Amino acid sequence: MNFGFCVPTFAGANDSHPRTPMLERVEVDSLVAAVREVEALGYDSVWVADHLMLGADDAILECWTVLSALARVTSRVRLGTIHLANFLREPALVAKMAVTVDGISDGRLDLFIEAGHGGSQSESEAYGFGWENDEDRFEKFEEAVNILKLMWTEDRATFHGNHYRIDDAICFPKPVQNPSIPLWIGTIGDEPSSENIGMDDQTMDVIARHADWWNNTPASVETGRAKLDTLKVACQHAGADYDRIGKSLETQVLIAEDSAGVQRLQDEIERLNPQKTFYQDWDGLRDRYLIGTPDEVTSRLEEYRALGIERFMLWFMDYPTLNGVQLFANSIMPRFRQARR
C-alpha cells in the first residue's frame, strides 16, 4: 500500500473545514519542514489542494506555486495536485505547467483534476471566472482532459471543441514520465445525495475512459464499495479495463498510542472549534475517517484494502504537531510494507 501526506496550505481551526482543525495559521517554514520530515519518514507522496479561497479567513497558498517549491526541497516523494479545478485555468496552460513541474521534479508529478462542484462556486465567482451549470462544466472537463493528453503526446496539438480550441499548440519539453503524467480523476462525498449521484455518474464515465487513477474523498467502507461498483459499471459501458485503473482514498487521520490519547485530541479539537457541531459526532466521523489507536486504524485500512484501494491521501488532524505523522509512519506503515514484500 502507498501512503501520501496532504500538505496543510490552509488553516482550519474555528472554520468549517475539518481537514486542518488544529491549525490556526499557515507558516511556510513549518510547512516545508513538515514535508521534509514526511519524506524522511518514508511516505510515498505529498499532495497540495487547489483552491483560491479556503480555510480560516479564506487564506490558502496557491497550488502550483507550492508544488514547484516542494519539487526543489524533496528528492523522492511523488508530488500531486488534489482536485485541480479545471474551471480556474485553460487546459493548454495546465498542460504546460504540469510538464514544467514534472521536469523540475525529475518525473514525480501526479495530476489530479476535477470538473468542480457546488462548493467551489463562491471562489470561482469571486475571482471573476463565473460559474456554469453541471452539464457545461462536465463537457468542458472532458474536453480539457483530451487537450491535456494531446499536449503531452503530440508535437503540435490541435483541438476544436464546444468550449476550448487550440491550433498547433506546442508543449515542449514533453513529460519526463513515460508514457505520460499519471492522470487522476475523483468522485466526491460519502453518503449518496441527488447531487452527488448525478455528478458521480458523469465523472465515473470520464474516469473509465481517461483516468489512470480513481480517488474518493472521505467515505465509509460501505460507500467506497458502492462507488467502486459504479466504476465497474462505467468501465463495462466504456469497454475499459476496471483493473487497469488504480484506486485511492483521500481521508482524515487522528491517531494516538492509546484510547486516552485519542480522546485528548478529540477534546482539543472541540475546544478549538466550539461552533462546529459535527465534532460532537465522533462515532459518525470514525465511520469515514481513520480515527483511533494504531491497531484500530490498521483494521480500517485492511477493510479498504479488501475493496482494492491501494493508495491513501492523508490529512493529519493534529497538525501542526507531527505526532500523528510520526506515529502513523512508525507504527502502521511497516505493517503494510512487510505485507507487500
Residue given cell 501520501 in the structure block: 4
Q: Which domain holds residue 27?
A: 2-340
Q: Which three cell numbers stand for residue 11?
A: 488553516
Which is more confident, 225 or 341?
A: 225
Flag whether pLDDT at 170 surpasses 90. Answer: yes
User: 2-28, pLDDT tens digit by residue?
Assistant: 999 999 999 987 676 689 999 999 999
Give me the mean pLDDT over the 286-300 stretch. Answer: 97
Query: What pLDDT does 195 receive?
Result: 45
Residues composing the chain: 341
Number of domains making up the chain: 1
Please say whether the beta carbons of 290 and 252 come within 8 A.
yes
User: 213-228, pLDDT tens digit by residue?
Assistant: 999 999 999 999 999 9
Query: Rounded to an integer, what distance in angstroms lies between the CA atom of residue 129 and that of residue 131?
Result: 7
Read off the CATH number of the domain in which 9 is found: 3.20.20.30
User: 270-287, pLDDT tens digit by residue?
Assistant: 999 888 877 888 999 999
Query: Rounded to an integer, what distance in angstroms lies between the CA atom of residue 27 and that of residue 9?
Result: 9
Query: What pLDDT does 197 receive?
Result: 42
Which is more confident, 110 or 131?
A: 110
Residue 341 banded pLDDT, cuts 50, 70, 90: very low
Give me the mean pLDDT over the 147-171 stretch. Answer: 98
Please say whether the beta carbons of 213 and 248 come within 8 A.
yes
Query: What pLDDT does 276 receive?
Result: 80
Q: Is the pTM of this model over 0.85?
A: yes
Query: What pLDDT does 42 receive?
Result: 98
Query: What pLDDT does 339 receive?
Result: 54
What's the mean pLDDT when you consider all of the chain? 93
User: 187-202, pLDDT tens digit by residue?
Assistant: 986 644 434 445 678 8
